[in-house]
Chain A
Amino acid sequence: MSRQGEEMPYSELVKNFNKIREYMRDFYVYGFKSRDGFSGRSTRTYDDERRRIESWLSDYMQFQMTSDGKVVSISIDSRRRGHNPFYKAWKTKSFTDGDITLHFILMDILPEGGREEEADSPGTDQVPAGHEAAEGLTIGEIVDRVDDVLLEFPGARTFDESTIRKKLKEYCQEGIVLSEKCGRTVRYRRAGSPVPIDAQALHFFSEVAPCGVIGAYCADKQEEEKSLFTFKHHYITSAMDSEILCEIFLAMRKKNFMTVETVLPKEKRSRKGIFVPLQVRVSAQSGRQHLMAYSYESRRIVPLRIDHIVSACAGRVCAEYDQYRKAYEKIAPTVWGVSTHSWSGKRMEHVEFTVRFGPGEEYIYGRLLREKRVGSVELLDPEHARFRADVCDASELVPWMRTFIGRLSEVHFSNPVLEEKFKSDIGQMYAMYGIRSGEGGES
């Protein structure tokens, strides 16, 4: 926050969310770095960001002394929390004294412009007390009314017409103020009063829907109601990428190109490229989010990790958008995770494996059926089932296939390098845990 727009030395509010995004991710996802581990940033910057994050997330912060110094981490069991604690960070945007003063005065003096959304809103059950509908105010009338309010405070700053006009323009863009041109005069009104949205719907979707923080914003402006939900396998880190995700959605709706800047964690430099955003692919099992986009540089559809994107700006409309989307829809049934190309350079790779299960272990067959995604499953006999898939990149199946260790009776990849690696990794695991190959017998 600032006095008349001047920056104060430390404030718990921030101007640019990217500034704290990386710190939060490091504290939460990794949680082992000391201050010295945050290379490239001054100790003052580190201390300020740590203090900010601590003021919002103090209940989840842990401190540990190691030989490298004090290590800060954020530890959250997301299953025990009804709400994503990282949303607090999204409610810390800095503003000036003038911003907040004008906000509450404008929202108070502007007449309301009707409640057009009332009839159709989901879960509405009451209409809030609001401002009477009336003709809007001109800029001159607004300036006078603001002055009238501030007259009570000798020495308080005043707002000139251009400042108020700028704020009204900003609010029109946000959709909370409506402007109407009557001849040469522009009149301003508040948009309709917010109509309460079902509180449980907000609780639920603010946790599971993309850009869920927007649901949390809606809930903040309503009467509080305890959430009836908890969440298992709940990856809350994606909250930190909400702004990027939102920009991506807005560009997709308008079929725009995007200039996307990415930074890989271990690389210092960033990369910029022009892309056509096509779909967001989300993993419920790892929380990772990828943007599937057509790349003009590589001339193909590629996945971009959304947490590696530092900026995403929409450009002009892409005339071939529908064409690229169709091309993506064509390859999507052969994508296991997000990879659209294999290391082998082959267009498609085949993978198949057989699992063995004993009497009473039919749930293993059930597991294959519910986890097969784009593959197919065949029951060979009462104790064996085979999985098969033809995919763009078979290496993406390896982690999942390892979850059947102990039951794999046959494994085959069309890519011999992958098959060799898969088998040698298992051999390495035998060595790690002191298992002699073949000692299990046919039990």
Chain B
Amino acid sequence: MLFSELYSAYYNAVAAILREALEGPVTPDTMRRIIGKHASNESALTIVPALTDGRWPLLREDGTPVIRHVPTMPLTTLQKQWINAISRDPRMRLLIEADGEEAAAGLPFPEEDVLFTPEDVCVYDAYADGDPYEDPAYRAHFREILRALREGSALRMQVRNRHGNPMMVTMMPDHLEYSEKDNKFRLYGNASHRNDIVNLARIESVERCEREEVRKSRSVRQGKPAKVEFLLLDERKALERVMLHFAHLEKRTEKLDEKNYRVTLYYDGFDETELLIRLLSFGPLVKVVEPGRFLDLIRERLTNQSGLDL
């Protein structure tokens, strides 16, 4: 069962409290600190009294536990089935060094089935030019980057730029960004301006280097805050489609009347063109009203279209 108390934040918090209590008696303050980490702040209002008044008779009055072992829970069948399923994903071999046919063929929990197979799920609109996860060189680069991220090491990379020319980039890596739509990984880090984001598929070689080699920019690129405001006419299920389509962005929605809404989307200014064409995809059901510059971009596209005389 997926929705089960076995996985609940309360069970996790109590397990953490008991773990701490095995090291030494716990106080209500310690419990609250642990609960804050594993559950919500409001959870302490239930858990602390239940443990201290004996309703959940797991801690003695002196704060020591009645259990003898560090609390752990075996993996459930469902967890094993899910792990079996993801072990078949080619991206798993970027993360786990299990080279060799035997490792690739076997399931981590052979006694259990997989929860789903690659044929059970189809992502139908990811871009066709995704990263080459099966390529041994790509895998090796990925793992070297992961090692550097874990160890806090600097990297020296030979990269092809978008014109296909080779260039050398040194970087203090910060994190990897994955886009399912692009089906690509990008590495973000602290490097000289314009070299702070590297597409993993464009890396030709990568090695760790001395931190001193890195020409740092001020900070890891955070994006350029931007917003666009548009009016939405709720016909042909446009409200639902627009709201779901932009669900991943911060937004504000205001209902003007039964069919009309005003929506403000907050996005990364570097993705302006992408947002522009996504708004165009809703046709006349979306009308951009602010900012003027964004409006001009829409008008420019429509003006160009009107000249093509469909």
Contacts and interface: CB of A to CB of B under 8 A. Distances in A.
A275 interface: no
A272 interface: no
A232 B177 contact: yes
B98 A122 contact: yes
B69 A405 contact: no
B287 interface: yes
For B80, B250, B268, B305, which residue has the most chain A Cβ atoms within 10 angstroms? B305
B178 A204 contact: yes
A17 B3 contact: yes
A88 to B, nearest CB: 7
A190 B307 CA distance: 73
A417 interface: no
Given A230-B175, A442-B307, A204 B245 contact: no
A440 to B, nearest CB: 3
Given A104-B18, A194-B73, A214-B79, A228 B149 contact: yes
B52 to A, nearest CB: 12
B283 A429 contact: yes
A356 interface: yes
A358 B280 CA distance: 21
B186 to A, nearest CB: 8
For A17, A123, A371, which residue has the most chain B Cβ atoms within 10 angstroms? A123
For B40, B241, B283, which residue has the most chain A Cβ atoms within 10 angstroms? B283
B302 A405 contact: yes
A91 B177 contact: no
Interface string A45-71: 000000000011010001010101000
Nearest to A215: B82
Given A174-B6, A176-B6, A221-B72, A153 B125 contact: no
A220 B150 contact: no
A433 to B, nearest CB: 5
A152 B177 contact: no
A435 B95 contact: no
B298 interface: yes
Contact of B300 (A78, A215, A406): A406
A332 B124 CA distance: 10
Interface residues of A, number: 153
A289 B301 CA distance: 32
B254 A93 contact: no
Nearest to B3: A17
Given A56-B40, A176-B74, A234-B180, A370 B80 contact: no
A436 B309 CA distance: 12
B130 to A, nearest CB: 9
A243 B7 CA distance: 14
B174 to A, nearest CB: 9
A408 B309 CA distance: 9
Interface stretch (B54-62, B202-210, B211-219): B54-62
A372 to B, nearest CB: 7
Nearest to B83: A197
B115 interface: yes
A287 interface: yes
Contacts of A373: 124-125, 128
A438 interface: yes
Interface string B30-56: 000000001111110010001000111
A237 B74 contact: no
Contact of B250 (A75, A88, A149): A75
A86 B96 CA distance: 27
Contact of A105 (B66, B114, B255): B66
Interface stretch (A180-188, A309-317, A420-428): A420-428
Given A402-B281, A438-B306, A205 B78 contact: no
Given A120-B109, A208-B180, A279 B122 contact: yes
Nearest to B297: A406
Contact of B283 (A201, A356, A402): A402
A122 B69 contact: no
Interface in A158-215: 174-176, 190-195, 197-198, 200-201, 204-205, 207-211, 213-215
Contacts of A407: 304-305, 308
A403 B305 CA distance: 12
Contacts of A198: 95-96
B73 A228 contact: no
Contact of A193 (B57, B60, B72): B72
Contact of B57 (A101, A215, A220, A433): A101
Interface stretch (B85-93, B132-140, B153-161, B164-172): B85-93
Contacts of A270: none
A178 to B, nearest CB: 9
B181 A32 contact: no
Nearest to A104: B58
A228 B175 contact: yes
A265 B240 CA distance: 10
B175 A117 contact: no
B123 A75 contact: no
A236 B9 CA distance: 20
A386 to B, nearest CB: 14
B95 A12 contact: no
A120 B68 CA distance: 29
Interface string A396-411: 0011101101111111
A319 interface: no
Contacts of B150: 228
A242 to B, nearest CB: 6
Interface in B104-129: 106-116, 119-129
Contact of A30 (B1, B55, B188, B243): B243
B302 A433 contact: yes
A432 B146 contact: no
Contact of A439 (B108, B123, B303): B303
A435 B79 contact: no
B301 A405 contact: yes
Contacts of B251: 31, 75
A46 B77 CA distance: 35
A246 B78 contact: yes
24 contacts: A32-B254, A55-B43, A58-B40, A75-B250, A90-B3, A104-B15, A108-B67, A122-B108, A152-B57, A174-B1, A174-B4, A200-B95, A200-B146, A230-B178, A233-B248, A237-B244, A279-B120, A280-B120, A285-B245, A356-B308, A369-B129, A372-B128, A373-B124, A398-B283
The 4 closest A-B pairs by CB, nearest first: A440-B307, A175-B77, A406-B301, A191-B74
Given A55-B41, A66-B254, A232-B177, 20 more contacts: A3-B55, A12-B43, A13-B8, A88-B9, A91-B7, A91-B8, A93-B4, A104-B18, A120-B109, A122-B96, A123-B96, A205-B89, A220-B7, A228-B150, A229-B178, A284-B123, A373-B124, A408-B308, A425-B284, A436-B306
